[in-house]
Amino acid sequence: MLTNPENIGHSEPVISIRNLKMWYGSKQALRGINIDIHKGQIVGYIGPNGAGKSTTLKIVIGLLSDFEGDVQVLGFDVKKEPLEVKKRIGYVPENASLYEQLTPMEYLTFVGRLYKMEDDVVSKAATELLALFDLTDSKDKRMHTFSKGMRQKVLLISGLIHNPDIIVLDEPLSGLDANAVILVKEILSKLKGYGKTIFYSSHLMDVVEKISDRIVVLNNGEIVADGTFEELNQEAEASDSLEGIFNHLTGNIEQTVSKADDFIKAIGV
């Protein structure tokens, strides 16, 4: 059951990350991350490739446990109580195995059962949600024939069908057509209004800028900025867009210009 938007509070964080560190062998991926996320917030999490975004999200949802620091989700310790965390989270990765020999209805029934949902409840919700994403004609087809965009729609539905309190999204719009992107943005805005908390990583700066209450910028495993778009804009000396802010805060603009010049030279222009 959704909560009335008027009853949303912002007292205790629903996600609390303290001094989070993570290594892959000798490489340190996260260097002491501290983040509090509150109920009803959409927090955009951006950074260059390899900055540590996906690692952070996988730790929050309980997929990675070999980390240092303290991570709490809805009061549960992620390392000690990962199943309690997973029950309450919806996760949409950029790419995931969908058991492609199944149909969308079979796969969503399987997901529903993992969350202890009754089959008739799952069937009704899945039918309605697949229709919203224009997948009615494909709901009983094997997914090995699906395009990336169609698979991503099924992933989105599977991450939300159990009505989770917290939604963690890692490049969820990958492969979607323009109409589906608009729909997902509207869905996320509506979910926020009902008190759902959304932790969202994307390379689509315009989308992050438009839907996020707050933006966290990660670079080389460290947070280099955390605030509203307006606050980050001031810190980046009045850049006109989130892309400009991102380039300023990560020192990416000079490297990008240099690489573009090198590319032009390499093709003989």
pLDDT for 176-213, tens place per residue?
Answer: 998 999 899 899 989 988 999 999 998 877 888 888 99
Which of these ranges, 8-17, 56-65, 136-145, 213-222, has the smallest mean pLDDT?
8-17
What contacts 162, CB < 8 A, 6 or more positions away?
Answer: 90, 111, 112, 115, 117
Same domain? 54 vs 115: no
Mean pLDDT confidence for 39-57 = 93
> 94 in a domain, yes or no?
no
Nearest to 250 by CA among 261, 260, 265, 239: 239
Quick check: 140 and 103 in contact, CB under 8 A? yes
pLDDT at 198: 96
Residues 168, 199, single domain; the answer is: yes
Considering the domain architecture, whether residues 208 and 238 belong to the same structural domain is answered as yes
- Residue 9: per-residue pLDDT: 47
Lowest mean pLDDT among 103-107, 166-170, 227-231: 227-231
| Low-confidence winner among 75-84, 122-131, 201-210, 260-269 (lowest mean pLDDT) | 260-269
The stretch 36-56 carries a mean pLDDT of 93
The model's pTM is: 0.85
Strands 197-201, 42-46: pairing is: parallel
Task: Look at residue 97 in the predicted model and tell me its pLDDT.
Answer: 75
In terms of pLDDT, which residue wins out, 213 or 250? 213
169: closest CA among 43, 32, 17?
Answer: 43
Chain centroid to CA 43: how far? 9
Give the whole-angstrom CA distance, residue 11 versus residue 117.
30
Distances (CA, A) of 120 to 125, 135, 188: 9, 19, 25
The predicted model gives 99-105 an average pLDDT of 93
Residue range(s) defining the domain that contains residue 141: 99-161
Q: Is the pLDDT of residue 4 over 50?
A: no
Whether residues 168 and 139 share a domain: the answer is: no
Instruction: Quote the CA–CA distance of 91 and 220 in Å, as a whole number.
Output: 24
Give CB contacts under 8 A, 24+ apart, made by 7-12.
7/195, 8/39, 8/40, 8/195, 9/39, 10/38, 10/39, 10/40, 10/41, 11/38, 12/38
Mean residue pLDDT across the chain: 87
Lookup: tokens for 98: 């969908």
Residue that terminates a domain, selected from 134, 161, 188: 161
pLDDT above 70: residue 223: yes
| Per-residue pLDDT at 6 | 44
Task: Give the separation between CA 261 and CA 55, rounded to whole angstroms.
Answer: 32
The residue with tokens 């490489």 is: 27
| Same domain (yes/no): 41, 11 | yes
Q: Rounded mean pLDDT of 153-169?
A: 95
Token representation of residue 140: 């009983």
Task: Give me the number of domains the chain comprises.
Answer: 2
Mean pLDDT value across residues 243-252: 66
pLDDT band at 3 (very low <50, low <70, confident <90, very high): very low
**Alpha helices (H) in the chain, listed in sequence order:** 53-60, 82-87, 104-114, 119-132, 148-160, 178-193, 205-211, 229-235, 242-250, 252-266
| CATH at 46 | 3.40.50.300
pLDDT at 96 over 80: no
Predicted confidence at residue 237, as pLDDT, reads 63
Instruction: Give the chain's end-to-end CA distance (angstroms, integer).
Output: 60
Q: Does residue 68 have a pLDDT over 80?
A: yes
**75 and 178 inside one domain:** yes
